[in-house]
Amino acid sequence: MTIQLNKNDAVRLIINKNRRENARVKEWIDSGCVCFAFSGAIALRPGTKVQVEIPNSDPQAFYYMQAVEALDAERTELHLSRNLNSQFDHRRRSWRVPYLAKTVIRRKDSPQFINAEFSNVSMEAAYLMAEEKFPVNAEVELRLVLPEYPEHTVLARVMRSSETALDKNAAGKDRYGVLVRFSKLPKIVMRHLTYFMWQQIRKTHLRQLQVVFAGSAKKTRKPAEAGTQPEKIVAAVAKRPQNLD
């Protein structure tokens, strides 16, 4: 079950497990970073862990996030991104990006394709809205359609499927959520998917990338001081024995 955060939604911020602040969603900066507004003054350092609680949600929902920039005690807004070090994030092994595109899917033993639409995709899996329910663990074929790349038919396995319809298509037909994990993607498909994912990640998760790779740049070497001489490299050369003839 996915519980989304929308603008002006009320939340509760739990900071370092002992401080609680009521707040509201002010705006989405990108798909991984959210700006919250609150009435209390607070000072946070980048990387401070913040748990975002969704009040009155059933089941109870939390987002595990972290501060992404320095915040002094005078400001009343806070920028948070997903906490990549949270133990709850280890269940997802790769980045995923939102992606809307028409496709078709079918069970491996079925001759008929079913209309579907991508919702998001990662290097390992994809979430689709399909016009038919698929049983968990079923082997399926689907067409992977990426912009600027050839279309590929790939194999996958159903990991999760909704029991009831989640929405309807333009014609009013029910659609069901289907999570599939790719099976042994060919090298050419992996290459195209990798290029596509990096293009999308740079657009949708730029703030998170800045947090992850902050400080990872190589340090520049100090220039040599004026008047100093480079150390001499002395090579030991064995003398060739003289010919006594």
Q: Tell me, what CATH number does 127's domain have?
A: 2.40.10.220
Q: Which among 68, 88, 108 is the end of a domain?
A: 88
* Host domain of residue 43: 10-88
The Cα–Cα gap between 6 and 24 comes to 9
Q: Using a cut of 0.75, tell me whether the model's pTM lies above it.
A: no
The Cα–Cα gap between 55 and 198 comes to 35
Strands 174-182 and 33-38: unpaired
**Separate counts of helices (H) and strands (E) for the chain:** 2, 13
The pLDDT tens digits of the residues spanning 7-35 come to: 888 888 888 767 888 888 888 765 567 88
What residues contact residue 241 under an 8 Å CB cut-off, 6+ apart?
none
The per-residue pLDDT for 72 is 54
Residues 122 and 153 in one domain: yes
pLDDT at 153 over 90: yes
The Cα–Cα gap between 102 and 189 comes to 18
Residue 84: Cβ-neighbour burial (10 angstroms; 0-12, 13-18, 19+): middle
Residue 115 banded pLDDT, cuts 50, 70, 90: very high
Q: Which among 88, 113, 129 is the end of a domain?
A: 88
- Assign 244 to helix, strand or coil: coil
Residues 129 and 58 in one domain: no
Q: Number of folded domains in the chain? A: 2
The pLDDT tens digits of the residues spanning 51-106 come to: 888 877 655 667 777 777 655 556 677 778 766 554 444 444 556 778 889 999 99
Residues 73 and 104 in one domain: no
